[in-house]
């Protein structure tokens, strides 16, 4: 799936700007700065496909990427703290929630959790929204290279515990580092099995 062409299709700022729902669609959700855009770049092997940056709130639109003529890969704006004006943030948060609860062809949402922080209240909120919307989601731990083994294990356990309470959650958690390339193959394989 990821060995073929991946291209940026469009950035969407309102639900009526969504492309036709005629493909298998997966998306990456998570707190601002958790590493969504960087993970998409690691998955596709293209360093600057999705724009990443150290400033929380980098991605402000819903960005659609086409993958191998059959899939949409969707990069979402982050939730939680963002360095952007308040009303702008409020607008994209509404759009994010509308997308996560209203996109018919969304096969799976990948919810990214920082290996250094574990699950926070805002993550719980998003996971509950996905429960209510009956969207299957799977948790991906990011930035595993940034944390010591003991800490990583502790946060993974806390995350597993939190995730187990959500009916829409897929139980397997994938640990990744976009920086080191850890877990990227596993994630690619999971995405390839979705139909
Ligand atoms: P928003 O679009 O603002 O919501 O952020 P995002 O979730 O898309 O995060 P982004 O991919 O822009 O990454 C944020 C910062 O974390 C960047 O400086 C990345 O280089 C860094 N980063 C992302 N993934 C990793 C990783 O696996 N390891 C390390 N060390 N840094 C990472
Ligand atoms: Mg981003």
13 alpha carbon to ligand 1 midpoint, in Å? 22
For residue 19, give the CATH number of its domain. 3.40.50.300
Q: Residues 12-69: pLDDT tens digits?
A: 999 999 999 899 999 999 999 999 999 999 999 988 899 999 988 888 899 999 999 8
Q: Residues 119-175: pLDDT tens digits?
A: 999 999 999 999 999 999 999 999 999 999 999 999 999 999 999 999 999 999 999
Concatenated DSSP letters of 88-130: HHHHHHHHHHHHHHH-TTEEEEEEEEETTT---HHHHHHHHHH
**Position 153 in a domain:** yes
What interface predicted TM-score (ipTM) does this complex get?
0.99
**Position 1 in a domain:** no
Strand pairing report for 71-75 and 6-12 = unpaired
Ramachandran angles phi, psi of 181, nearest 5°: 80, 10
**Position 139 in a domain:** yes
Neighbours of ion ligand 2 (CB under 5 A): 36-37, 58-59
Q: Where are the beta strands (DSSP E) in 31-183?
A: 62-67, 71-75, 106-114, 137-142, 169-175
The domain of 185 spans: 6-193
**At residue 82, does pLDDT exceed 80?**
no
Ligand 1 pocket mutation, candidates 37, 126, 142, criterion most atoms within 8 A of CB:
37
Contact status, residue 56 vs residue 32, Cβ threshold 8 Å: yes
């Amino acid at each position: 799936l990821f060995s073929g062409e991946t291209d940026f299709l469009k950035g969407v700022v309102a639900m009526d700007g969504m492309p036709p729902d005629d493909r298998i669609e997966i998306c990456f959700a998570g707190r601002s700065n958790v590493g969504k855009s960087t993970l998409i770049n690691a998955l596709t092997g293209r360093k600057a496909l999705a724009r990443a940056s150290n400033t929380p709130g980098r991605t402000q639109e819903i960005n659609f990427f086409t993958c191998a003529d059959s899939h949409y890969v969707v990069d979402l704006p982050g939730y939680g703290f963002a360095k952007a004006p308040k009303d702008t943030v409020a607008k994209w948060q509404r759009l994010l929630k509308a997308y996560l609860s209203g996109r018919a062809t969304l096969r799976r949402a990948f919810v990214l959790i920082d290996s250094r922080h574990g699950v926070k209240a805002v993550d719980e909120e998003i996971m509950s929204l996905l429960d209510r919307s009956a969207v299957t989601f799977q948790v991906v731990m990011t930035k595993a290279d940034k944390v010591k083994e003991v800490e990583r294990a502790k946060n993974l356990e806390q995350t597993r515990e939190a995730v187990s309470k959500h009916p829409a959650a897929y139980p397997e958690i994938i640990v990744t580092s976009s920086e080191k390339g850890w877990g990227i193959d596993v994630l690619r394989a999971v995405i390839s099995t979705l139909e």
